[in-house]
Amino acid sequence: MPAMLIKGSEISKQIKEELKIEIANLKTNNNLIPGLATVLVGENEASKVYVGAKEKACKELGIYSERIDLPGDTKEGDLLALIGRLNKDPKIHGILVQLPLPKHINETNVLYSIDPSKDVDGFHPVNVGKMMLGEPCFLPCTPHGILELLRRSNTELSGAEVVVVGRSNIVGKPVANMLLQKNGGNATVTVCHTGTRDIPSHTRRADILIVAVGKPKAVTADMVKEGAVVIDVGVNRLDTGLVGDVDFEPVKEKARAITPVPGGVGPMTIVMLMKNTVQSAKMHEGLS
């Protein structure tokens, strides 16, 4: 029997409806409108699309959105000064600087300059450290979205054998850590990477397989355990269209559940950013 599809496009709509109610209540009962500032430096077309999608989500949910577009030759000092102003702006509860930045700007300096209490991307080392310790913090959006997909598809996490393929700071490392947490996933987690000698020997053990390597169809059906839950984070553009890091058609005949590409993990990233922005607004007003 083909796998059940875990559709982020549908689950993200559920979360949006929950957020709409919460945001409306904040406005009515507390005169509070969550605010998100997005900063785009340069003319990267993919970045423009991402920022536009975030603006659209803010408008749909009733979140105040402030988009700041800067030329590609903006000096690092000017960008840091802008972030300093946004850190102090009471209308802004979340700050997102769209990556990648132009090469003359040090991304680390920029990300570290964001007030951790407004770091709704969850990339500041203060939030990363709190995540590692299992303390309340802004969780990075894509890994957080993956956990929501698993929970809302009734996937048992506690005690599960999870294999993560990929160790990026954006997906692999944080999702592994979150699934390890006793109050997060309480799972047993293995992380595979370019130094792993026999990746298939690990992936074939996985009850839950999370793939984030950026290579089209890198995980094939012979690498997947019968009845596994497969989360495909990759988005790769081929002449035939968008494909994931998992060879979808043969794997879906073997897995119990699988995320499609597109319409799987992708929609969750933006909705979790919105959720973090609402959380930040409540925190700044002492409501959480």
CB-count burial class (<10 Å; 0-12, 13-18, 19+) for 5: middle
User: For this structure, is 232 an active site residue?
Assistant: no
65: phi then psi, degrees, rounded to nearest 5: -120, 130
Dihedral angle over CA of 103, 104, 109, 114, nearest 10 = -80
Determine which one of 56, 78, 89, 98 is catalytic. Answer: 98
How many whole angstroms separate alpha carbon 230 and alpha carbon 232? 6
Determine which one of 14, 91, 118, 121 is catalytic. Answer: 121
Residues in the chain: 288
How many whole angstroms separate alpha carbon 242 and alpha carbon 232? 12
Determine which one of 14, 16, 20, 54 is catalytic. Answer: 54
User: For this structure, is 215 an active site residue?
Assistant: no
How many whole angstroms separate alpha carbon 61 and alpha carbon 127? 25
Enumerate the β-bridge partners of residue 68.
39
User: For this structure, is 88 an active site residue?
Assistant: no
Long-range contacts of 154-157 (CB under 8 A, 24+ apart): 155/208, 155/229, 155/257, 157/185, 157/186, 157/187, 157/208
* Positions marked active-site: 54, 98, 121
